[in-house]
């Protein structure tokens, strides 16, 4: 169903006059127009009955149209009072008072004060959960984009694998990966590309740096691309030269844990059950204290989005949900391994979007 | 004066119980600790009398200490209620009710609702103007970092100039620039590096793309680096091959306009006067309608920060302020030129931080 129609139905169901969407990711989701307006006003206002409109900086109006927004657009110049313009256009399309839905986890206090000063709104409702619930299941068009984004992430790991050589630094490997992606048209990574080698891979928030990679290292890659407005996120840990027994044991435990969660994905399974599927493998192998983070997170327009997959989340998975599965073991100062896939829940089970091999790859460059 | 002391003086002057700083740029400014906590709580709370404390995710506590924060730290795990922990620590250090200062242009509505639910605060004051006023004048340590950041921006333009060749695309030039900076230790650009060639340079919000650069193009570079937490921002427009008469005329007009503003910088001059100094040169040359944006913006921890230098801003400049001066002329579909420097106001005049030559550089690679 069209996203605007879904929002109108929600407004009518809960007797809310209007929904004002200002989080740029959500504006993109409902309008197709991706923009970061910084401190300038950007938003989509949706009403029970009346047609929605987009408000944006005047110079972005052509971009919004060419992005596919066919509705009304209110363009504001820097010299104009954008909130006043919002009020004039909106008040003609809605009842005098009543409730308004806003993204309380995004709107700032000063904008909220301006909004409540202009509109005679009886109550401001949090729209966040509704938008999260809409975004959490992806349609076929979104899934296709996420597949393409995952394919680019696979390619990035391939480039990383063939770039490894004795003495190359983590930053140099990262740079080669990003260069190769730029040549394929990738303009933005979904977060800072991470390359961690040797003992640094054992720090879950280590930073890519000047360490020279050497034979015997495990090298952890964590990266993703932004593709047509959607994100991918992959982690692979490769062995540069022959791994020792402990490295192999840790790797195979993480792999078994990752596969246990992936193979448990189907409609109806809960996030907590998926987390437990991975965690129990790692605990049974005696590494439980070294798996220090949640299993994964939702993935889509944002690289970290709703839901969070952790042991206290009893939310049931549904077909169309896309998220990461990324167990890891980090033995401080010694060995760190994480394996992360992007997966989609299907009608019957799971589609794994990231396809780079997961058996331990031993690189002999 | 120490930033915490300045804030304490402000709280006492206006009888405000506490200031809660959560904008990561401002947290860095007052604590030296730079972190992007995403949805997790990060903040510094300052009191009239009691010692301030930092609240951050537990796993970042070592980073905060090594960044130089010597005060108390409250670290919260994902399983803990960070707002409740904030309240417990803060309420022991402040009066029962009274006013609290927050950044209204940064704090979200949901966090504000949580804060006002916990504290019996009589009024929430906007801290934004106070912090802006503190950040706007840079001390000698900050100026030195900004000089270094500007030098890296100069180097980036040098790399761009020597990378130009017939048929190379804008994206390829951008990639070479960023690669060269990474080799000098630059991990983040202050915004997306922009390379626009030929008619594309005439679009003030054009995007770096696949256009092949050819002889006779003007090529506009707009870029900056993040260095030790501070930003640079430079624009240069170079001629690739011999420029024609119109290109030269437009270039020299922009150069004259840029120098007019730079040479007018001294304590006491207003933003509007600086804007007028540039704008009148461009208007007198008959290009007034093609200078479609403000003169410049403040520069520091953020690449766009307070103040905005435009024709309606009568704020007087003071020694220690750092901002950009960046007039441009954009004749649609034909020729686009912008020249941008980072400048600091000195006791007697101006220090230009960016030093790449401004006479029209004609590149014959």
Determine how many CB atoms are found less than 10 A away from the CB of residue B313. Answer: 16
- What residue has token string 């929600």? A10
Best interface-test mutation with A: which of B40, B58, B109 has the largest number of A CBs within 10 A? B109
Instruction: Report d(CA B166, CA A196) in Å as an integer.
Output: 38
- In this prediction, residue A39 carries a pLDDT of 82
- Cβ–Cβ below 8 Å for A106 and B108: yes
- Cβ–Cβ below 8 Å for A110 and B126: yes
pLDDT digits (tens, 9 = 90+) for A174-233: 999 998 998 898 989 999 999 999 999 998 778 899 999 999 999 999 999 999 999 999
- Structure-model confidence comparison of residues B38 and B329, the more confident one: B329
Q: Enumerate long-range contacts of B245-248, CB under 8 Å, 24 or more apart.
A: B246/B334, B246/B335, B247/B218, B247/B335, B247/B337, B248/B360
Q: Nearest CA of chain A to the CA of B176: how many Å?
A: 9
Q: Is A257's pLDDT higher than 90?
A: yes
Smallest CA–CA distance from A110 into chain B, residue:
B104
Q: Enumerate long-range contacts of B4-12, CB under 8 Å, 24 or more apart.
A: B4/B30, B4/B46, B4/B52, B6/B134, B7/B46, B7/B52, B7/B130, B7/B134, B8/B46, B8/B47, B8/B48, B8/B49, B10/B101, B10/B130, B11/B46, B11/B47, B11/B48, B11/B101, B12/B48
Model confidence band, residue A264 (pLDDT cutoffs 50, 70, 90): very high
Domains of chain B, start order = 3-135 (3.40.350.10), 140-363 (3.90.230.10)
- In this prediction, residue B1 carries a pLDDT of 61
* Mean pLDDT, chain B, whole residue set: 95
- In this prediction, residue A37 carries a pLDDT of 84
- In this prediction, residue A95 carries a pLDDT of 82
Angle formed by the axes of helices B109-118 and B82-91, to 10°?
A: 40
- What residue has token string 């993480």? A254
Model confidence band, residue B255 (pLDDT cutoffs 50, 70, 90): very high
Q: Is B207's pLDDT higher than 90?
A: no
* Mean pLDDT, chain A, whole residue set: 95
Q: Nearest CA of chain B to the CA of A285: how many Å?
A: 25
Q: Is A49's pLDDT higher than 80?
A: yes
- In this prediction, residue B38 carries a pLDDT of 80
Given A109, A171, A175, which is nearest B107 (Cβ)?
A: A109
Residues of chain B contacting A, Cβ within 8 Å? 38-39, 59-60, 78-79, 102, 104-110, 112-113, 124, 126, 128, 171, 175, 179, 182, 187-188, 192, 204-205, 208, 294, 304, 310, 312
How many contacts does A have with B, using Cβ atoms within 8 A? 66
* DSSP symbol at A97: S
pLDDT digits (tens, 9 = 90+) for B131-170: 999 999 999 999 999 999 999 999 999 999 999 999 999 9
Instruction: Report d(CA A45, CA B57) in Å as an integer.
Output: 35
Contact list, B124 vs chain A (CB under 8 Å): 109
pLDDT digits (tens, 9 = 90+) for B288-308: 999 989 999 999 999 999 999
pLDDT digits (tens, 9 = 90+) for B233-250: 999 999 999 999 999 999
Best interface-test mutation with B: which of A104, A109, A206, A207 has the largest number of B CBs within 10 A? A109
Q: Nearest CA of chain B to the CA of A54: how many Å?
A: 20
Model confidence band, residue B225 (pLDDT cutoffs 50, 70, 90): very high
Q: Nearest CA of chain B to the CA of A303: how many Å?
A: 12
- In this prediction, residue A1 carries a pLDDT of 61
- In this prediction, residue B39 carries a pLDDT of 82
Predicted-complex ipTM score: 0.88
Q: What percent of chain B has pLDDT over 90?
A: 91
Model confidence band, residue B322 (pLDDT cutoffs 50, 70, 90): very high
The alpha carbon of B287 is separated from its chain's Cα centroid by a whole number of angstroms, namely 28
pLDDT digits (tens, 9 = 90+) for B25-74: 999 999 999 998 888 999 999 999 999 999 999 989 999 999 999 999 99
- In this prediction, residue B168 carries a pLDDT of 97
The set of residues, in sequence order, having a beta carbon less than 8 Å from that of A195 and lying 6+ positions away, is A160, A170, A171, A173, A174, A177, A208, A219, A220, A221
Q: Is B204's pLDDT higher than 90?
A: no
Contact B358, B338 (CB under 8 A): no
Q: How far is CA B315 from CA B143, B261, B271, in A?
A: 21, 15, 6
Coil, strand or helix at A218: strand
Contact list, A101 vs chain B (CB under 8 Å): none
Q: Is B125's pLDDT higher than 90?
A: yes
- Rounded average pLDDT over B93-97: 84
Instruction: Report d(CA B143, CA B352) in Å as an integer.
Output: 11
Q: Nearest CA of chain A to the CA of B175: how many Å?
A: 7
Q: Is B339's pLDDT higher than 90?
A: yes
pLDDT digits (tens, 9 = 90+) for B304-321: 999 999 999 999 999 999
Q: Is B206's pLDDT higher than 90?
A: no
Q: Is A362's pLDDT higher than 90?
A: yes
């Amino acid at each position: 169903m069209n996203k605007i129609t879904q929002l109108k139905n929600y407004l009518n169901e809960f007797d809310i006059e209007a929904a004002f969407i200002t989080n740029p990711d959500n504006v993109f989701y409902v309008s197709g127009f991706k923009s970061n307006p910084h401190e300038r006003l950007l938003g989509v206002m949706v009403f029970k009955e009346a047609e929605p409109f987009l408000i944006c900086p005047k110079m972005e109006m052509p971009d919004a149209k060419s992005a596919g927004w066919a509705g009304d657009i209110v363009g504001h110049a820097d010299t104009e009072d954008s909130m006043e313009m919002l009020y004039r256009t909106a008040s003609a399309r809605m009842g005098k008072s009543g409730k308004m839905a806003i993204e309380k986890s995004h709107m700032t206090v000063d904008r909220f004060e301006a909004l409540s000063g202009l509109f005679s709104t009886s109550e401001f409702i949090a729209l966040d959960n509704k938008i999260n619930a809409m975004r959490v299941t992806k349609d076929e068009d979104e899934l296709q984009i996420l597949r393409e984004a995952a394919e680019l992430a696979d390619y990035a790991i391939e480039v990383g694998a063939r770039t490894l050589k004795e003495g190359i630094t983590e930053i140099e490997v990262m740079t080669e990966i990003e260069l190769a992606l730029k040549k394929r048209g990738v303009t933005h990574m979904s977060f800072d590309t991470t390359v961690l080698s040797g003992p640094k891979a054992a720090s879950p928030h280590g930073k890519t740096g000047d360490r020279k990679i050497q034979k015997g290292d495990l090298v952890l890659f964590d990266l993703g691309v932004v593709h047509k407005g959607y994100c991918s996120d992959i982690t692979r840990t490769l062995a540069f030269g022959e791994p020792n027994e402990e490295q192999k044991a840790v790797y195979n435990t993480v792999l078994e844990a990752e596969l246990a969660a992936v193979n448990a994905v189907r409609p109806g399974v809960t996030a907590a059950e998926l987390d437990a599927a991975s965690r129990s493998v790692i605990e049974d192998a005696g590494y439980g204290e070294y798996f220090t983070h949640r299993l994964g997170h939702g993935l889509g327009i944002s690289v970290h989005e709703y839901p969070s997959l952790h042991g206290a989340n009893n939310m049931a998975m549904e077909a169309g949900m896309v998220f990461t599965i990324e167990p890891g073991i980090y033995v401080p100062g010694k060995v760190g391994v994480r394996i992360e896939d992007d997966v989609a829940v299907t009608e019957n089970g799971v589609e794994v979007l990231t396809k780079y091999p997961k058996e331990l790859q031993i690189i002999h460059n």
